[in-house]
Structure 1
């Protein structure tokens, strides 16, 4: 890709503003999973080693724009700052008042984290005024947040337009390289596993993958719609009748093996009794909540023959143990495969963690929506602006900063 990369630049003595994706799940002040934070560490450490004054920025959740963080403290990045301090073994200061503030001189190696960008009025609208204020904070802007690269917002796109220099960070580059290895230079045969609740939420992904892969395994509610397209009574299971014809067309054009047996229950709960049934034996009040053992074995055998694998979405409701075996078997089969595997999406990463196969997956993406958008062939706005800046030889639009919006974060 034709954009500047952070490691190509001279950062010594520079103020380097790095957009990361620290949108982590919290239980109170406790971080449930710090995978996204850990993924950013190599970028931060590299910038520090290059002599930069590092300024980090991120969003967290969906706070109200223009409202003080003190009035919605559950969206504060303070827990992230604390975790970064632990992992980096150096103090990471959380800065709340930074908009319209003239940057002070800081020592090389200093690290600070700006409070949640989504409390700033104009962030989601990619407001030029806000973008210029971000750009005024730095000498170099680094886009490293693949998980937010599909959003055209001030902290992902606008700042890249106005910063003196804009480049891609190592994490963003690794993400794009891994996905391009699957999409543009795969070893054959290749397989995609796409699970989840609805065909409608992943239709573009399914249609694009159908033109590339040798086999496409579907799971979850998505598989139910495909079963219905084959004339199977899916009972009380989640499916989309309005997309049955679309599923039927994909079945005709693509090699999509369907479940022959499934795990069912009469309700979705952690205490619901589960039973195994052939798909031809389903009753009207049955809910399909996982693939059956024979199907899991058959799918695992398919996985074993592949050289390139993409996985997005669970095969069943793996959060409950009685409906987790299908996802567990497929996760282990992918882990056992010596070929290249890439996995992405929040539920997928949670399953990988639950079944302890993290180290055996070739690449685990930090992106959810960005992962899906890129797989379906969409242009990621935050990547496009970096390419635009590179093609224009990094001539930034001049910025005369006028403070606007909320300055507490």
Structure 2
């Protein structure tokens, strides 16, 4: 068990918090503030304990000096101020006298946001390569470190692992929730435990499939990755996206998975990758040479629904088709609806495109948990050790 923010005395202390404010921006305007809102319970709890808060986060990838203008965290400080109804001080530096004196001057109940941690990557990738001196420096600014950025837990950076190595490190509420839901779902699931995997490529999900074959009762396969399995079964897949170099692997997963691995039985196909293209639903042996599969069909939806209706734990990662196009979103919509109707099941979306889909379709609040980290949740499902999580002190 990892220590949480509730396991440490915070009164009067300067608390360093690694948040995930990697929000989408358009010309300096935040287009979705979900990640900022997700950090609020931890920040508010620390303030309620009579402490000072110093926040760290990255934003985007900083490759050259000109990126700094577009990737400043200043708009995040402004939005956070509105959400907590409290001034958030912003220091547009990642180190130096100005930052140090601002932290020293911080009063109990005040919040300070440090500039984008990845600005340090212009100086030899010091953030992304976990430069020991940088981690030690940031740790020196406070008394305790709260890591609440699950979205970066699969990376060993100076602002998560580096700080953790130099000061007491605990998890925030968001990180704790991710550990509880995703960890428990895979290690101690209520059964039947069903995993739904979609997205474009089998290669992205190989390790997840292999691990879930040991853990889950059923694995439902959709999305572009299903095409590789359909080809491995011996069907012609026309112009569909197929990973030719993974066909043998797909065959071996089918043999190993037997009836545990559930593949589509029909597909929605079109001649062009466009919402304007004419489309039709065909059985697996009905795809013409000039067609591509872009969604799962009605029979597959019915098959998946039948399996899901008895499920007690469901983990979903990856859409069932090209959900961004209305004509090829039906499979994803129907899976979302099925999960939303499960009343006494634990339903978890593993971040990334599935989370985007659930949100766009208005179903996000119907799930037990929507993960904030696409890559991190996938690696957690694989059973990999996440460096950012591992660096948090044990109870």
Common fold: TM-score over 0.5: yes
Q: Which has the higher contact order (CA 8 A, sep 6+)?
A: 1
Deviations 1:200-231 (A, max 9, x none): 11111111111111110111111011111111
Q: What secondary structure, in the 3-state scheme, does the structure 1 residue paired with 2:200 have?
A: coil
Deviations 1:90-129 (A, max 9, x none): 1212211241333423211101111110011311110011
What's the counterpart of residue 135 of structure 2? 131
What's the counterpart of residue 269 of structure 1? 274
What's the counterpart of residue 335 of structure 1? 340
Q: Please point out which of 361, 370, 379 is paired with 1:373.
A: 379
Q: What secondary structure, in the 3-state scheme, does the structure 2 residue paired with 1:217 have?
A: strand
Task: Supply the distance in 2 between the matched residues of 1:200 and 1:98 (Cα, whole angstroms).
Answer: 37
Task: Supply the distance in 2 between the matched residues of 1:372 and 1:346 (Cα, whole angstroms).
Answer: 9
TM-score normalised over the length of structure 2: 0.94
- Whether the aligned pair in 2 keeps the contact of 1:225 and 1:243 (CA below 8 Å) is yes
Give runs of ≥4 in structure 1 deviating > 4 Å: none
Could you say what the CA RMSD is over the residues aligned between the two structures, in angstroms?
A: 1.4
What's the counterpart of residue 148 of structure 1? 152
Long gaps (5+) in structure 2: none
What's the counterpart of residue 398 of structure 1? none
Long gaps (5+) in structure 1: 392-409
Task: Supply the distance in 2 between the matched residues of 1:75 and 1:291 (Cα, whole angstroms).
Answer: 38
Q: How does 1:158-307 map to 2 (within 5 A)?
A: 158-163=162-167, 165-254=168-257, 255-307=260-312
> Is 2:123 aligned against 1:119?
no
Task: Supply the distance in 2 between the matched residues of 1:344 and 1:321 (Cα, whole angstroms).
Answer: 22
What's the counterpart of residue 93 of structure 1? 89
TM-score normalised over the length of structure 1: 0.91
- Whether the aligned pair in 2 keeps the contact of 1:142 and 1:167 (CA below 8 Å) is yes
Size of the aligned set, in residue pairs, is 384
Deviations 1:130-166 (A, max 9, x none): 1111111111111110110110010010111112x22
What's the counterpart of residue 16 of structure 1? 15
TM superposition shift of 1:71: 5.5
TM superposition shift of 1:24: 1.3
- Whether the aligned pair in 2 keeps the contact of 1:297 and 1:329 (CA below 8 Å) is no
What's the counterpart of residue 326 of structure 2? 321
Q: What secondary structure, in the 3-state scheme, does the structure 2 residue paired with 1:252 have?
A: helix
Task: Supply the distance in 2 between the matched residues of 1:119 and 1:329 (Cα, whole angstroms).
Answer: 42
